[in-house]
Chains A and B, each alone.
Chain A
Amino acid sequence: MLPNTGMQAPADDITGLLVSWREGNRAALDALLPLIQRELNQIARRHLGRERQNHSMQPSSLVQEAFLRLLPDRDVEWQNRAHFFAIASKVMRHVLVDHARQRSRGKRGGAAVHIPVDVAVVLSPEQIEEVVAIDLALQRLAEVDERKSQVFEMRFFGGLSVEETAEALGVAPNTVTRDWNFARAWLRRELGGEGAPVHGVHGTLATD
C-alpha cells in the first residue's frame, strides 16, 4: 500500500465543481476548497521540501502550478480559470488570515491549551495586524466593488501578476492595474489613511 498522500481529484471533477459553483451551488465551493488547498500544499511542499531541485517557489507559480496540475486541459473555459485562480487566492488568503488571527490571539494570552512558546514566525507583528486589518477592509470593499476586491485578493494574497490576474478574470491588464491602484489607495486609506508611518500598519501596501 502506498501511504495516503492525498488522492488527486480528476480534472473533470474539478471542472464540474467549478461550473456548479458558478451556477450558484455553494456546496461546490466547500468541496473545491480542500481539493485546491491540498494541491497547493503538495506543490508548496515539493518546492520547499528536501526534494527541491534548483528552482525556488514564487507564490504565483504555486497557484499556476496547482491550476495546471488540476486542470491540465488547455482549453479550459476562462470562467473556470478565473474561478480557479480566485479560489486558490482565497485559500491563500484564508490560510494567512487564519494564521494571523491565531497569532494575534496568542499574543493576548488567550490560548488555554499548553503550547510551546516560541511560535513560528512567518509574519512580523506589524504584518499580523496588517493582514487582519486588510482582510476586514477587503470584505467591505467586496460589498461595494467585487471585482476590485478580487483583483486585490489575487494579487496580494495569491501573488498573481497583473497579466495572470487579467488573464484569469478575462479583462485587460490595464483594467487590473487600474483596479489594483484604486483598491490599494482605498485600502490604505481605510487602514489608517495618509500620513501614517511607512512601516506602520499599512506600510507595505505600496512600494514607496
Chain B
Amino acid sequence: MESMERWQQIESLFQEALQRPAAERDAFLRQACGGDADLLREVQSLLANHREGSNTEPWAAAAAAQLIAAPDSLQPGQTLGPYQIASFIAAGGMGSVYRARDPRMGREVAIKVAAERFSERFSREVRAVAALNHPNICHVYDVGPNYLVMELVEGESPKGPLPLEEALRIARQIADALEEAHEKGIVHRDLKPGNIKIRPDGSVKVLDFGLAKATSAPAVQGAEDSPTISMAATQAGVILGTAAYMSPEQARGKPVDKRADIWAFGVVLFEMLTGKRLFEGEDLTETLASVVKEEPQLERAPAKVRRLLRKCLEKDPRRRLRDIGDAWRLLEDAPESVPAKSRRGIAGWIAAAVLAVIAAIALWAPWRHPQNAARIVTHFITAIPEVNGLPGCIAVSRDGSRIAFAGGPGREIHVRTMDQLEARPIPGTEGATFLSFSPDGQWVSYVDSAAPSQLRKVSVAGGPSQVLAEALTATGPPVENWGDDGNILFSNKGVLLRVPSGGGQPQVLATPGAKSGEFWYTAPQLLPGGRNVLVTVSKKSGMVQAVLNLQTGEKKFVLESHAVAQFANTDPSSAIGHLVYYDAATGSLMAVPFDANRLQVRGSPVPVLEGVQNLVGPFASFGFSDSGTLAYVTGVAPASANNTLVWVDRKGVEQPLPAPPRRYGAPAISPDGERVAVHIAVGSPINTKPDIWLYGLARGTLTRLTSDESSFAPVWTPDSKLIYTSRDSTTRDYGIRSIPADGSGSAAEVSARQRDQPYASSVSPDGKVAIGSEVRTGQHGGRGMWLLSLAEGVPADAKPQPFLDSQFVKASPQFSPDGRWVAYQSNETGHNEVYVVPYPGPGGKVPVSNEGGTEPRWVRNGRELFYRNGDKMMAVDIQTSPAFRVGVPKSLFELHYGAAYDVSPDGKRFLMLKPAAGQNVGSGQLHVVVNWFEELRRRVPVEK
C-alpha cells in the first residue's frame, strides 16, 4: 500500500498526464518521474486503464434500482402479513423465496412471493394442496394474496447411484407422499429430483405438490396429425426442468392423472439406482421425443426392481401401475445383482438447479444444422402482458432463447427469456415498435414512436437506451433488421439506410425509383451470404419483394405478396428457405419457398397459420428466430376491440343493453337516468378517433353528438349539458369543451388548451365547478387533479387549477351529491386507495377503501359510495352528519369489466363496459412454436 504522499504524487501525475495529448504523455511522465521507475510504471499502468468519456452506462445503478423495485425486495425485519422476513433465499420463476418466521406458531417458514396477485383459481388449488398433511409432503401452511407460506425444508436432492436399500428407503417415502396426495385427488404433476429433499435426518420431503398445474395455462390442442406436442405444463421454465420426468401423455399434452406421477416416480427411482438419465436428449424436443418413443433400458437397474420399474414406465397409462400403494408388491425377490457401477466416476446426478440451467442452454442453442431426425414441433402458450399490437411488436432472438414484445400497461419492451417464467419490462422503452434483436441476443433495436421518432437500442438487461438514428418518419414503415455484420438496416422516408449498431452516420443503401412508380422501400433484411438484401417495395400496384445486390446495385423482383415479407432460413445447408408474410386479405400467415442463392421463389404461397393478430396495415404480431421458434399473439388488441354496454346489479347479475358492440368508453348516465353519454372510438390504436354519442335507454338508440373525431370522456352537468375533453386536430393540444346534450347548440371551449391531457370526471351539483384529473407530461410527469370554474363570465381560456396537488398520483375525483365532499383515488400509500375530503375544505382526508380502491362513485342519496378494487365492485356506507363516517367496505361482485363505469340514479345497478367475448382470444397469451421451421418445410415443400 502506498503512503499518502506517494498516492497523491501518483494521482497528480496521472491527472497532469491526462491534460496532455496522448502522444506527449509518455515523454512527460518520464521527465516528471525523474528516474523513479516504480512511479513511472504505476502511473503508466493507470493511464493504460484510463478510458475517455466520463459517462459510464449506469448498468449497476439500473440493476440495483430494478432489484430494489422488485417485489422480492423484502428486507429482513419487514413483515409480510403476520410473517417476519428473516432473509432472502433466492429469486425464482414464481417470484422470490424468503426464509421467514411465523411468530404465532414460533416456527421458521419459507415464503414464495409472486410479483402478481394470485388468481382465484390458483388460490383454490393451493388451498387444496395446503389441506395435505403428511410427514413426507412439504406442508403448505398459508396462501396470501401473492405469497405462499411453506414448510422450510433444508436438505439435498437425491443423487444416484445409490445403494439399492438406500434408494428404496427414499423411494418408499416418496411413494407414501404420492399415495397420500392421490387419495385426496391431488396429482403432483412435476415430480423430479429437484422437488425431492432428503433432510439431514434421512427423512424425505416432496415439495411443490400440484403447483405445476396451478401455475399452468390451458393446453392447446395439437394440430392434425403433425407431431405437435402440446404442453400441459405450458410454461417453458416448467418444461425445462421437467421434460425428462414427464410422462408420455403429459408430453403429448393429454389430460393427466395420478398415473403421470407414477411414471415420474419410476424415472426418479431408476435414476437414483443407476445415476444415469433414463431419458435424455440434447434439448427439450429431443428429450420429449425420447420420452414418447424410446423403450427405457431397464437392464441397468437391479433385477429386484425391474418389474416395478416396468409397471411404472408403461407408455400407455392404461397399462401402467394404477396405485402407487401397490408398488412394493412388485419388488422381486430375485438374487441381488450388482448395479451398474462401472462408470462410477461420472458424477451421477447433478443438482436439479444446475441441470435445468444446462438444459436451458442446450435447448436454446442455435440449431443451424439440419438434423437427421425430424424435430418435434412444440406449440405452447404462455401468459404475458398484452402486446400493444403495433407493427413489429414481437421479435425472437436468433437462437430462440429470448422473445421481446412491446406491450403491458406501460407499453414498453418486455423480454421473456425462455428459461424464465416471466417477461421483464425494460423501463424507458415506452412506445417501442419494430423490435429487432442483435445477432447475439443481448440488444434490442427499436423505433421510438414518440415524436421525434428515433431508432434506438437497449440492452436486454435494461439500462438507458441509445439513439442510433434520428428523425424517422412514417413515410414507409421504418422496419429494421439487425444484420450479422453488425449493421442495422432500416428505412426512413422510404429510403434504405444502414447504421452501425454502435451508432453513427446512417448510410444510404437504396432510394426508391420514383420514375418506375416506387413509393418506398422497407423491411430490409440481409440474406445469407451478406451480399443481398431482401426488401419490400411499395409500388402503385401494391407491395412486392425485391432483392438488392449491395455490390452491384442490381435489383430483382421476386414476389408479389402485397405484404411485408421476411426471409426464414428454414434450411441453412441449402439456403433455400421461405418468405413469410401476413396476408391481410385472408388473414393468414403465408409462406413460399425461396432460394436465397438463385434469388427466386420455388413454389406457391401456402397459408400456414391463421388468427395472428393484425392491427396496422400489413403488419401482424409475430416474429421468428433463426432457430425456427415462432412467437405470435392472436386476436385483436383490446385497444381496438369492441365492447358492449351492460347493466350489472348489486349481486353481479348481468343484463346486456340493446346497443351494438362498439369501442365504448367513459359511460355517464344523465341526471334524469334516461340517457347515457359515452364516447365511441374508431381507428387504429395509434390513431384513435373518438366521438361523443348519446344512447337513449328507453328506446335503445345511439345518436352522435360530436363529429370531430377527437372528443372523449363526457361528463353531465346538472342542466343537461355535457363537458368533455377535446383535442385540437392541428396543435394537438387538449382542452375542455361544453355542448348541449340535446344537440341544440354547438360546442364551446370552457378551458385553455394545454399539452397535458385533462379529463373531467365530475361537476358540482350547482353546476359551477368541474373537477377532474390530468396526465402530466414534461419534467414531472404523473397525474394530478384540477378544478375548473364553469360559472357564467369565466373566460373560455380559463386554466384548470391544481387540486390537492402533491407528488402522488391522484385521479377520478367525484363531487358528493350535496357538493360538500370530494371522493378521489390516490396512490400515496404505494397503491391506489379511495379517500374523501371536505369541499372546499378545510379538513383532512378520510380513507374509504382499505385494500386498494379506484374510481369512486357516489350514490345520489349521498349515503353510499362505490369503488372498484381490481375486478371487485365495492360498496361502503357513508354518513355525513353529524360527522363524516365511513362504514366497512363490502364486496358486491367480482367480475371483469373494462375501465370506467357509472351507477344508476337509484344505486341499484351499474353500467359497465364488457369486453366482447371472442375478440380478445389472444390477449395476454403468447403462442410459441418451437421448431416451427420443421412445419414450414413439411407443409410448404420446395418444388424441384
A127 to B2, CA, bound (A): 29
Instruction: Check A95–B64 contact: CB distance below 8 A.
Output: yes
The residues of A that contact B419 with a CB separation of less than 8 Å are: 118
Q: How far is the CA of A207 from the CA of B60 in the complex (A)?
A: 14
Q: Is A172 an interface residue (CB 8 A)?
A: no
Kindly provide the distance from the CB of B254 to the nearest chain A CB, expressed in whole angstroms: 26
Number of A-B contacts (CB under 8 A): 260
Contact (Cβ within 8 A) A50 B409:
yes
CB distance from A114 to the nearest CB of B (A): 5
Known A92-B65, A182-B14; contact A53-B59, beta-carbon cutoff 8 A = no
Indicate whether A37 reaches chain B with its CB closer than 8 angstroms.
yes
Please determine whether B63 and A4 come into contact, CB atoms closer than 8 angstroms. Answer: no
Residue of A with least CB distance to B72: A120
Write the nearest CB–CB distance from B131 to chain A, whole angstroms.
21
- Chain A residue numbers with a CB within 8 Å of B112 are 116
A6 contacts chain B at the CB level, 8 A cutoff: yes
> Is A181 touching B92 in the complex (CB atoms < 8 A)?
no
- Asked if B63 contacts A123 (CB within 8 A), the reply is yes
Establish whether residues B830 and A6, one from each chain, have CB atoms under 8 Å apart when the complex forms.
yes
- Among B44-52, B220-228, B268-276, B897-905, the one that faces the other chain is B44-52
Closest chain-A Cβ to B777's Cβ sits at a distance in Å of 7
A54 and B99 form a contact (CB under 8 A): no
Q: Assess whether B850 is in contact with A1, with CB atoms less than 8 Å apart.
A: yes
In the complex, residue of chain B having the shortest beta-carbon distance to the beta carbon of A202: B49
**Chain B 234-246 per-residue mask, 1 if CB under 8 angstroms from chain A, else 0:** 0001001100000
State in angstroms the CA–CA spacing of A69 and B427 once bound together: 22
For B427, the closest partner residue in chain A by CB is: A56
Contact of A155 among B56, B138, B850 (CB under 8 A): B56
Complex Cα–Cα for A46 and B353 (A) = 33
Stretch at the interface among A9-17, A19-27, A74-82, A105-113: A105-113
Cα distance A143–B809 in the bound complex, in angstroms:
44
Nearest chain A CB to B134's CB is how many angstroms away?
17
Measured CA separation A186–B45 after assembly (Å): 9
Determine the residue in chain B with the shortest Cβ distance to A57: B427
User: What are the residues of chain B within 8 A of A144 when measuring CB–CB?
Assistant: 1-2, 7
User: A34 to chain B: which residues have CB within 8 Å?
Assistant: 75, 77
Q: Is there a chain A Cβ closer than 8 Å to B412's Cβ?
A: yes
Range class of the A interface residue count? 35 or more
Q: Are A59 and B58 in contact (CB under 8 A)?
A: yes
Q: Cβ of A118 and Cβ of B64 under 8 Å apart?
A: no
* Contact A181 B90, beta carbon cutoff 8 Å: no
Whether A53 contacts B833 by the Cβ 8 Å rule is no
| Contact (Cβ within 8 A) A62 B68 | yes
A residues 182-201 touching B (CB-CB < 8 Å): 182, 184-186, 188-189, 193-194
Q: Which of B49, B51, B353 gathers most chain A CB within 10 Å?
A: B49
The reply to whether B46 and A157 form a contact with Cβ atoms under 8 Å apart is no
For the complex, what is the distance from the CA of A167 to the CA of B153, rounded to whole Å? 50
* Pairwise interchain contact A111-B354, C-beta atoms closer than 8 A: no
| Bound-state Cα–Cα, A177 to B429, Å | 29
Distance from B166 Cβ to chain A, minimum over Cβ atoms (Å): 20
Q: Does A83 contact B (CB under 8 A)?
A: no
Interface string of A46-74 (1 = CB under 8 A from B): 11111111111111101000000100000
Interface assignment of B290: CB less than 8 Å from any CB of chain A? no
Contacts of B65 in A (CB 8 A): 40, 44, 57, 59, 62, 92, 159
Inter-subunit contact B832/A117 (CB<8 Å): no
Which residue of A47, A111, A120, A143 contacts B353 across the interface (Cβ within 8 Å)? A111
Identify the closest chain B residue to A115 (Cβ). B90
What is the CA–CA distance of A186 and B42 in the complex, to the nearest angstrom? 10
Q: How far is the CB of B360 from chain A (nearest CB, A)?
A: 8
* Whole-angstrom distance between the Cβ of A169 and the nearest chain B Cβ: 16
Whether B51 lies near A208 (C-beta < 8 A) is yes
Q: Known contacts A111-B90, A113-B110; can you find 10 more A-B pairs with CB under 8 A?
A: A60-B61, A62-B68, A96-B64, A109-B353, A114-B207, A115-B353, A157-B64, A182-B11, A193-B49, A204-B56
Chain B residues within CB distance 8 Å of chain A: 1-2, 7, 11, 14-15, 18, 45-73, 75, 77, 79, 88-94, 96-97, 99, 110, 112, 138, 152-156, 194-195, 197, 207, 237, 240-241, 351-357, 360, 409-410, 412, 417, 419-421, 424-425, 427-430, 461, 464, 775-777, 781-783, 807, 809, 827, 829-833, 847, 850-851
For this complex, 18 residue pairs linking A to B, each with C-beta atoms less than 8 Å apart, are A34-B75, A52-B409, A55-B782, A92-B68, A96-B64, A102-B90, A112-B155, A116-B112, A117-B93, A118-B420, A127-B59, A131-B60, A144-B1, A145-B11, A159-B60, A178-B15, A185-B50, A206-B50
Q: Which 9 A-B pairs have the closest CB atoms?
A: A159-B61, A116-B92, A206-B51, A44-B69, A59-B61, A56-B428, A55-B781, A120-B91, A92-B64
